[in-house]
Every structure is written in structure tokens, then in C-alpha cells.
Amino acid sequence: MLRPALLAEDIERARPAVMRWLKTTIGFQAAVVIAAGVYVAAIASGHRQGGFAWVAPALGAVVGTALPLQVAVISIMRAGRRL
């Protein structure tokens, strides 16, 4: 989705691709955060034990989907310096 535009020499071609990637990424991250919130709310409503280990799957989903974004951001920054 992003690679061909970042390899191009024209910044006008890269800009729409970055915006399209950003919209897709924000939408996906919002879906993950909403799903994690629903999970936490559902588990918390029936959860009667102490501790917070039950939150780990939701936290892992949010962090796990956010970390790979760093690779794309680095690629965008490199392309911006090159263009």
C-alpha cells in the first residue's frame, strides 16, 4: 500500500498514499482499541478475583498492533528526507 509511493521520486505521488495509509491505520487501531475495550468490559463485569492479569490479552493486542507501525513511520521519514 505504501511502498511503491515511497520509492517514487515525486512527493505529490507519495502524499496521497501516506494519507490513505494513515486513514487505514487509524481505522484499524480504533477497531483494535474498541475490541480491547469491549473485552475488558465483558471480563470485568463477571470478574471477581483480585489482580490484573486478565487485562493482559487486551493490552497485548493494542501494543502488539502498534509496534509494527514504527517500521512504517521510519520508512516514511526516510522517504521524506530523500524527496
Number of separate domains in the chain: 1
Buried b (16+ CB within 10 A) or exposed e, 57-71: ebeeebeebeeeeee
Residues of the chain with pLDDT > 90, as a percent, come to 31
Lowest mean pLDDT among 7-11, 38-42, 62-66: 7-11
Which of the residue ranges 13-17, 60-64, 71-75 has the most confident prediction, judged by mean pLDDT?
A: 60-64
Residue for grid cell 483480585: 50
Q: What is the pLDDT of residue 29?
A: 93
Q: 50 lies in which domain range? A: 3-82
Looking at the predicted structure, is the pLDDT value of residue 23 above 90? yes
> pLDDT band at residue 61, thresholds of 50, 70 and 90?
very high
